[in-house]
Amino acid sequence: MEVALAEAALEKSVSDLFGIVMAVTGNTLMFDDVLERLKYTLGRLKGVMEDIERSHKEMGRPEEISALIEQIKKGEDRVKKYSKLPWWKYPMRFHYTSKLQKLEADLIRFFQLDVTAWTYRSVSNTWNVVSDTLARMHLAGVGSCAVPEPPDFTVGLDVPLKELKMRLLKEEVSILVLTAPGGCGKTTLVTMLCRDQEIKGKYEGNIFFITFSKSPNVKVIVQEIFRKKKEQVPQEFSSDEDAISKLKQLLNRMEQKSILLILDDVWSGSESLLDKFAFHMPNYKILVTSRTAFPRFPFRYKLEPLNGKAAMKLFRHSAILNDGSSYIPSEDIVEKIVKDCGGFPLALKVIGRSLCGQSEMVWRSRVMEWSNDHSILASSTSSDLLVCLQKSLDFKDKEIIIKKCFLDLGSFPEDQRIRVAALIDMWSELYELDEDGIQAIANLCEITNRNLASLLVTRKDASEVGIYCSDDYVLQHDLLRELAIHESSQEPEEQRKRLIVDISENKLPKWWKESRQQPISAQLLSISTDDKFSSSWCNIQASEVEVLVLNFQTKNYTLPKFVEKMDKLKVLIVTNYGYFHAELDNFQLLGSLSYLKKIRLEKVSITSLFKSPVQLKSLEKISLFMCNIGQASRACTIQVSDALPNLKEINIDSCIDLVELPAGLCDIVCLKKLGITDCHNLSALSEEIGKLVNLEVLRLRSCSDLVQLPKSVTSLSKLSLLDISDCTNIRKLPKDIGNLCNLKELNMKGCMRLREPLPLSTWNLEKLKLVICDKERAELWEPLKESLPSLKIKLAAKDTNLHWLLNRL
């Protein structure tokens, strides 16, 4: 309450001062310059204050706000006095101008430094409360109920938009089904509808966008709606019926407000779930998008494929390079290709991009090849569209690796973000790509260029030493995932090199349950299970598997017994897509795997790993993302260096219960890379870290409770990269930082409290090539450029909002 009142008072003070400046600016000619600047500054800060009030209802630093309010009140008096300054006191304007300039500077400093640091501290203080919600938003297709952004370029949807809006607004319509084949733009049309001014006005703040998907989880959907309304999120429901009951109570509390619930991508067979959300309430509507028409719902709108003119326009847009230099053949060839695409926007974009930049002979050759294929003119079903999309997978021989990478994306569940770091782990072993991910990201860029997936790079910090992609991810259209699975499933299961298995409840595939099953020859095995799976595994002979991807949603998950027979397994990726952390058991099975090099665990508790010592002598890299490890690691009695004698890289990301490094990690002398990022409760590093004499990369990104670096860090003579970006409480660099004789890159972006002069030893950093920081920190480094001629100082873009946090979703 104290913080909320303080925020309200601050916002009022800024608004009052802004009003006074506005009033006097036009009448006070002698101060027009400084007043105009102050007016501009206050105008910007009013918007910031609105954001702060929305984001910090229950967080903040009231004492800091009170001090600023006092300054603003003094400023109001000064502006009033200065506006009435008589002409004969004109010489005093210089004195008054300096006072106004100081007020402006104080305002800017507060919002650039204190509010930013305050924001990070507030996030740290509340991280434990929201962690599970954020984790679900990161891992689940449900998201945060926010309406996605429509594509930058759309065509042919103006008329459907008007017609859909007209039907939705009809009084008798309670459930409206928007139906069309996959790839027709149903979701795009709905996102445009949500941005229509009339719809926004009617449903202001009460539009809930849910990706329903193939295996919807009613409990999670309801929890996300609670979060969208900033209500206390129920931690557990006894059943789906209990969740629906709680949701109805929430909606009833919203009085007479109009509510729009959007259920996107509802699959056939889910009609009964739609009934659960169909409450008989005034001003409450449901908009469903589906490939199935659901005939028992009377109100439907069918989105037709694009007409010839619109289809041609979209295709040309996709087939032309950004600089407009791409070759486009004669009209008859283009018309033939566009006609074969059947008006499907997805097909037009994907095939257009596949031909972008190609010569006339390639275009003609493709038309000849495709002319013998099945046409999609007579039908608009998903299977026909898959035939169309297959044409975009016509890669050259030297590009076959890109096609393989695209097919691998089908290993991850639909509607989920695919972490780039996980793909790098897979591809570095399957295709012998570089460990740093340069080739992997290049392949992803090519896949994105062909509109086969979307690569989202969330961090854009320049680096000359290494790539940081922990926050980056890939999104893929459901239909394109189907295409990848379809292309990977042309041989019998036992002969496939890439075997992707989706298990609903406990229904194992028939081939798996057969008593006389043949050994499978897959190098990549992906098994996805839902929240009803009981971990009752049948045996499987998979000794050729090199990469195993396990995706699940249950609270407890047991590694399959057959894993211990995977003699060639090199990479294990285990991801929990459920709402809560899951306990992971059967770690001891991994002890028999002599080739296992990389393990990546997401959203799991790994108590059993510390309870039952497992020697993983070949393991080189372990990544823990959103895992519970702190309590278990503190109770650990095993000698970590003995269990992991060849470990070279550790990544601990968003592990909120990590207060200190697990005991024994500093004894792993062969360790080369250590990353601890977004661990907001990590308050200190042990002095033992100096024992990691072979460490080359140390990332301590966004550890907001970390106050200082231990002195022993300066003994890491092989360290080439040090990243302390967004460690908002670090106040100074170690005195002997100059001992890091091989340091090439230092990232200190967002270190707002690091204001003390740099240690004298920094002059000894002769190999330092790049420092990434903000303007104020850059001023500390400028004097060193004369003695360090190769040093480049890069200013990081200012970011005074919580967008960095949304990247964890």
pLDDT in tens, 721-750: 999 999 999 999 999 999 999 999 999 999
- Looking at the structure, tell me whether residues 310 and 292 fall in a common domain: no
Q: Find, among 526, 578, 602, the residue nearest to 140 by Cα.
A: 578
Which residue's entry shows tokens 């402006």? 104
Domain boundary among 344, 379, 414: 379
Give me the count of residues in the chain.
809
Q: What is the mean pLDDT of the chain?
A: 80
Q: Note the pLDDT of residue 725.
A: 93
Phi and psi dihedrals of 287, rounded to 5?
-110, 120
Strand ranges across the sheet with 473-475: 418-419, 473-475, 454-456
Residue 64 in tokens: 């800091």
Domain boundary among 271, 302, 333: 302
Residue 458 in tokens: 């969330």
Label residue 383 by pLDDT band (50, 70, 90).
low
Q: Note the pLDDT of residue 108.
A: 57
Q: Note the pLDDT of residue 389.
A: 72
Phi and psi dihedrals of 583, rounded to 5?
-80, 130
Label residue 216 by pLDDT band (50, 70, 90).
confident
At 149-192, the pLDDT tens digits run 888 899 999 999 999 999 999 999 999 999 887 788 999 999 99
- Looking at the structure, tell me whether residues 183 and 290 fall in a common domain: yes
Strand 721-723 vs strand 697-699: parallel, antiparallel, or unpaired?
parallel
Determine, yes or no, domain membership for 713.
yes
Which residue's entry shows tokens 């997978």? 393
Determine, yes or no, domain membership for 370.
yes
Of 54 and 506, more confident:
506
- Looking at the structure, tell me whether residues 71 and 168 fall in a common domain: no
Q: Taking a C-beta distance cutoff of 8 angstroms, is the pair 379, 104 a contact?
A: no
For the chain, state the CA radius of gyration: 29
Q: What is the 3-state secondary structure (H, E, C) of 52-101?
A: HHHHCCCCCCHHHHHHHHHHHHHHHHHHHHHHCCCHHHHHHHHHHHHHHH
- Looking at the structure, tell me whether residues 111 and 199 fall in a common domain: no
Label residue 282 by pLDDT band (50, 70, 90).
confident
Q: Taking a C-beta distance cutoff of 8 angstroms, is the pair 615, 589 a contact?
A: no
Residue 226 in tokens: 């609670």
Determine, yes or no, domain membership for 615.
no
Return the beta strands (E) in 497-620 as ranges: 498-503, 524-529, 547-552, 556-558, 571-576, 582-585, 598-602, 604-605
CATH number for the domain harbouring residue 749: 3.80.10.10
Determine, yes or no, domain membership for 99.
yes
Which residue's entry shows tokens 């008593």? 515
**Residue 272 vs residues 212, 218, 267, 297: alpha-carbon distances, Å:** 13, 12, 11, 12
Cβ neighbors of 477 (< 8 A, separation 6 or more) are 182, 183, 346, 453
For the cut 70, the answer to whether the pLDDT of residue 665 exceeds it is yes
Q: How many domains, in total, are found in the chain? A: 4
- Collapsing DSSP states into helix, strand and coil, what is residue 672? coil
- Looking at the structure, tell me whether residues 295 and 164 fall in a common domain: yes
Find the domain containing 58 and state its range. Answer: 2-130
Return the beta strands (E) in 638-735 as ranges: 649-653, 673-677, 697-699, 721-723
The sign of the torsion formed by the CA atoms of 14, 17, 23, 27 equals: negative
Q: Note the pLDDT of residue 388.
A: 62
Q: If you average pLDDT over each of 577-586, 776-785, 798-807, which comes out highest?
A: 776-785
- Could you give the residue ranges of the DSSP H alpha helices within 169-208? 186-194, 197-202
- Looking at the structure, tell me whether residues 293 and 187 fall in a common domain: yes
CATH number for the domain harbouring residue 368: 1.10.8
Determine, yes or no, domain membership for 358.
yes
Which residue's entry shows tokens 């010839």? 308
Cβ neighbors of 89 (< 8 A, separation 6 or more) are none
Q: Note the pLDDT of residue 116.
A: 47
- Looking at the structure, tell me whether residues 9 and 117 fall in a common domain: yes
Residue 594 in tokens: 């002599």
Q: Note the pLDDT of residue 204.
A: 84
Determine, yes or no, domain membership for 763.
yes
Work out the average pLDDT over 566-582. 92
- Looking at the structure, tell me whether residues 244 and 292 fall in a common domain: yes
Determine, yes or no, domain membership for 699.
yes
Domain boundary among 334, 361, 379: 379
- Looking at the structure, tell me whether residues 338 and 259 fall in a common domain: no
- Looking at the structure, tell me whether residues 45 and 29 fall in a common domain: yes
- Looking at the structure, tell me whether residues 207 and 222 fall in a common domain: yes
For the cut 80, the answer to whether the pLDDT of residue 232 exceeds it is no
CATH number for the domain harbouring residue 257: 3.40.50.300
Determine, yes or no, domain membership for 616.
no
Q: Note the pLDDT of residue 435.
A: 86
For the cut 50, the answer to whether the pLDDT of residue 30 exceeds it is no
User: Angle of helix 240-252 relative to helix 218-228, nearest 10 degrees?
Assistant: 20
Label residue 718 by pLDDT band (50, 70, 90).
very high
Q: How far apart are the C-alpha atoms of 714 and 17, rounded to whole Å? A: 49
- Looking at the structure, tell me whether residues 92 and 167 fall in a common domain: no
Phi and psi dihedrals of 770, rounded to 5?
-145, 130
Q: How far apart are the C-alpha atoms of 175 and 287, rounded to whole Å? A: 6
Q: How far apart are the C-alpha atoms of 365 and 370, rounded to whole Å? A: 9
Label residue 35 by pLDDT band (50, 70, 90).
low
Q: How far apart are the C-alpha atoms of 448 and 426, rounded to whole Å? A: 19
Q: If you average pLDDT over each of 439-453, 455-469, 634-648, which comes out highest?
A: 439-453
For the cut 80, the answer to whether the pLDDT of residue 142 exceeds it is no
